[in-house]
Structure 1
Amino acid sequence: MLPPVRTDRTIDGQQPTNRELALKSVLRFVALALAVAAITLMLDLILTATLFSGLKKSWAEAAWPGVYTSAAHHHDLVPNREITRVWGRGRNPWKTDRFGFRTGTCAPGEPEKGRKAIIVVGDSFAEALGSSYEQSFAGLMACDAGMQGKAVHNLGVASHRPAIYHQKVRAAAERLGIAPAEIFVFLDLSDIDDDATVYLTDGDRAADPGTRVDWKIPWTEIGQFFVNNFASVHLVHDLSVFSSLHGRKSFGRAPARWTLDPALLESWGRRGLEIAGGNLDKLVALCREWHCRVTLVVYPWPDNVAVTRRDIVG
């Protein structure tokens, strides 16, 4: 009778060590976990696309509400659109006028066309994502200006940058038929990164998205795909948004840390400052044609608020 075969021996007849046995157990567990996760996600994808198709559609509309359109200078807001927009934990009314400008109470209309015009330009902060028009700083400016017989036109659009501003303002002034008396530019510190690595300009022609110097995996787009197509992932995402830990994600972001990190400052910070300065000079030159005044407002990110003066590089 043949002796039983020992399955716990290696080819050379040596017994596996405890470390090898532990590693095999871990690998088996990981393989099982991956298989369960893959099956769960597959079922989730199918159920979300069939039984919960209505929810899936609403998620997609909330993530990509179709409020932006192509423009000569790059992109703009769709005119005459009124929806409720989701931004983080909030849902707020969002409306544009016939020119494609964010509008609401105190926003100028046709009767205010002859008033002294003030233009506000900026990115998502100026567009006031996550806020109603009335509670936004542009809306508050409009109400205060209205009492003084002035009109504030909010040209803010998410992802607009200094590379776009002079073209955007000129086009808006021509459409409105005005020569603004004042222009308020709200500059995001991340604009320096975008002017250095994202937007390219060709003379005075329209700005086009350029190729980033440091290409990265599009984690945002990948994450949005999972959030929009898997109910379980969407639930986890919503829970994380309402978590107290969510605010910490605002810290440590490279687009804001170039003022604190010497390596980032040398990598693209100085170049971005020079490019942004040149783009803002074009806006100042345009303002001189109208004999108006430009006010530059720079707003910080959490990293910049939390530091002391000695942390700033330059």
Structure 2
Amino acid sequence: MAVSAGNARALRLARVILVNVALAIALLAATEFILHRLYNWTNPFLDHGENALRSRDPVFTHTLRPNFDGYDVWGPVTPRIFTNSLGFKDGATRSVPAISDRKRIVFIGDSFTEGVGLPYEQTFVGRFAQAFPEFDVLNAGVSSYAPSVYYEKLKFYLDKGLKFDEAIVYIDISDIQDESISYRYDQNGALEIGVFTPNPEQCLPSAYQLLTRSPPGWLEKRSFVAEFVSNLIFVKKANAANAGASLRELMQPGRVYSRDWSRAVWTFDDQASCYGEAGVAGGVRKALRQMDRLHALLSAQGVALSVGVYPWPHQLLYDVENSRQAQIWRDWCAGKCRRFFDHFPAFFQYKDTHSDYVRDLFFWADVHFNDRGNSLLADDLVAQYRR
């Protein structure tokens, strides 16, 4: 039977489509093969601790890349970020000389001090710098730092010849767990980071507790592209679920504002889990020991040391103003610190006058300060510094 002209065109089109689909599949398979060999079965499209902004460091485990001008991702927000020549978060890319003609103050801490999710100007360190233009303010803070890193990083830059007059160390609630299970020195004395405890997934819960993620499927296990797309879709759904959740939902067991989240509750629960064999008390002792080392280092260099503390949502929800966190570092600072900045009173005062204080002060479904939280801390810091 003769094939009509229309049917012939349809067949030709079908052949072209099939050939192109086959070529696309072959190209994708070849690309996947090359990527798997090139990156040793580690997906280059996913963040494994290093990206355009963040990199590993052989001395103090990890840092920010120098002279970065671009965007960082924190949950649903993508703030524009700058770093200076030292790899410190800053208001612009700039070259930092070893010696400043102004009084120089170096802040160091973890993600709260770095100011994740916000441009430099909205962080409490950036606001402090704006309040004191006569100072050269540097921000050495980076996500997941703890006292062991505070010591190693400041020692590294002092040994490199960086001169500064005062170091202001912001001790985070999470520092105690980090010192317990995330930082240790190897046999050569080098600081290393990891999760040195059995079943780490039970100690460091996902930020997306509202959704249960299905195990990866056949294609996700074999395709970097499929794994990346699947991860992207899940994160988008999780962010939407978090945004629509109530405080009551987020306070349920196992969720981000729950009373049982071990990372946050050690200040009012000495039996909190996931603090290694030595427990919470061992983590506190190690943090104090590392801060003793830092104090000795700075004293030998004639550098003043100040310490600051602040609450997480958990302390505002379940703890008291005179928290164990504030007590420990207030006592440690006696005779050592030029200043001790206790921001618990300012935050508890805000709580007393604002019913929606968690949403007001923190990124929702997160423990980090938002713009208003940073503003509250900065105002209190500036007021205390001027006394």
Match of 1:66 in 2: 52
Q: Is the 8 A contact 2:146 2:179 kept in 1?
A: yes
The equivalent residue for 2:140 is 155
**Match status 1:179 vs 2:163:** yes
Of 314, 318, 321, the residue aligned with 1:303 is 314
The answer for the alignment partner of 1:99 in structure 2 is: 86
Aligned to 1:192: 176
Residue segments in structure 1 that go unaligned for 5+ positions in a row:
1-45, 51-56
Q: How far apart in 2 are the matches of 1:62 and 1:213?
A: 19
RMSD: 3.8
Contact 1:117–1:152 (CA under 8 A) maintained in structure 2: yes
Residue 105 (structure 2) pairs with residue 118 (structure 1): yes
TM-aligned CA deviation for residue 156 of structure 1: 0.5
- What whole-Å deviation, never above 9, does each CA across 1:65-116 have from its counterpart, x for those lacking one? 4322222121111112111122123221111112111110698845982222
Amino acid at match of 1:173: L
The one-letter amino acid paired with 2:295 is V
What displacement does 1:204 show?
A: 9.6
Question: Hey, what does 1:292 align to over in structure 2?
Answer: 303
- CA shift, 1:61, in A, is 6.8
Q: Output the CA distance in 1 between the equivalents of 2:201 and 2:322.
A: 30
- Note closer, same or farther for the CA distance 1:298–1:287 as it changes in structure 2 (3 Å cut): same
Give the 3 Å change call, closer, same or farther, for CA 183–235 of structure 1 in structure 2: closer
Matched with 1:78 is 65
Q: Distance in 1 between matches of 2:89 and 2:195?
A: 30
Map of 1:35 onto structure 2:
none
1:259 CA displacement: 1.5
Distance 2:66 2:113 in 1: 17
Contact persistence 1:117–1:178 (CA under 8 A): no
The answer to whether the 8 Å contact 2:83/2:92 transfers is no
What TM-score do you get using the length of structure 2 for normalisation? 0.57
Deviates more, 1:302-311 or 1:107-116: 107-116
The within-5 A match list for 1:125-140 is 125-140=112-127
Q: Deviations over 1:29-81 (max 9, x none)?
A: xxxxxxxxxxxxxxxxx9xx99xxxxxx9984799643222221211111121
Q: 2:285 aligns with which of 263, 274, 287?
A: 274
Whichever residue aligns with residue 244 of structure 1, its letter is A
Give the whole-Å Cα distance in 2 for the aligned partners of 1:223 and 1:301.
27
Residue 164 of structure 1 corresponds to: 149
Q: What are the Cα deviations for residues 244-265 of structure 1, in whole angstroms up to 9, with x where unaligned?
A: 3486543122111112223228
Say if 1:104 and 1:133, in contact at 8 Å, map to a contact too. yes
Q: Which residue of 1 aligns with 2:239?
A: 238
Corresponding residue SS for 2:72: strand
Amino acid at match of 1:280: M
Unpaired runs of 5+ residues, structure 2, are: 1-24, 30-42, 217-226, 329-387
Give the number of equivalent residue pairs. 259
- Distance change >3 Å, CA 228–CA 198, structure 1 → 2: same
Q: Which amino acid aligns with 1:262?
A: D
Does structure 1 conserve the Cα–Cα contact (< 8 Å) formed by 2:104 and 2:137? yes
More deviation in 247-256 or 219-228? 219-228
SS of alignment partner, residue 256 of structure 1: helix
